[in-house]
Structure formats: C-alpha cells, structure tokens
Amino acid sequence: MPARTLEEHYDLFLRAFNAGDLEGLMSLYDDQAVLIPEPGTTVQGPALKEAIAAFLALKGTMELKLRGTVEGPATAITYGAWSLNGTGPDGAPITMSGESTEVVVKQTDGTWRIALDDPWSCA
C-alpha cells in the first residue's frame, strides 16, 4: 500500500493502525527506518516491528492530523498531532497523545516511506 503523496501517507497510516494491520503499517516504513517508541529510545529492524505491534496491542483508535510538511526532491519532513484511546495491559483504559515528526524518503517508484519516526517530538 504505497503512498504517492505525503497526505496519502498519513491517511494510509491511520487506516492501517485503526484496522490493527501490522503488515500494512510496516509497508509504510523504509527497510532501514528508525522509530522512537518512547522518548530516549530508538529501535529499528525487528525491534521496530515489535514496538509497532505493542502499540497495536492497545487495541486503540487513533486520530491523526497532518499539521505541515517540508518537501524536497527525495526527502520530506512531516509534522502531525495524534491521540490514541485504547486499553492498557491491565485492562484499564489508556489515552496517549503527542506531536510527531517524520522524515520520509521518496522511493524510486515515486512512493514515500518513513525513514525516521518520532511520535513524541514537539513539532
């Protein structure tokens, strides 16, 4: 499910997340992508997939809004705001929110994939 525009990328991410589609989310990331699953921690490779699976395990509903972009010929930065309402490991309701910054790279086929994902930044 490749994204041809930065706006479409956000839409695809939101739809895949709310559907609990781990493989769909992973298809939006570059093979060498880095994720900050919590402030001060970075993951990539198999650990990136595990971190995204942990977010999906909250069985939550995400709201996501693209707040801005800076687009170059092959790289772009996107800024967003998100909130997530789900269920914690103890069964209690959990609410999370943040402002995100993503570095996305244009692939040879013209689609965009995430290279760096910081959902905790101050955009």
Domain span including residue 80: 6-118
Residue-level pLDDT, tens digit, the chain, 123 residues:
678 999 999 999 999 999 999 999 999 999 999 999 999 999 999 999 999 999 999 999 999 999 999 999 999 999 999 999 999 889 999 999 999 999 999 999 999 999 999 999 874
User: Does some domain include residue 1?
Assistant: no
pLDDT in tens, 47-75: 999 999 999 999 999 999 999 999 999 99
| Total-model pTM | 0.93
What pLDDT sits at residue 2? 78
User: Does some domain include residue 52?
Assistant: yes
Domains contained in the chain, number: 1
Domain of 33, CATH number, reads: 3.10.450.50
User: Does some domain include residue 87?
Assistant: yes
CA dihedral 76, 82, 84, 89 (to 10 degrees): 50
What pLDDT sits at residue 102? 97
Least Cα distance to 113 among 53, 27, 8, 45 occurs for: 27
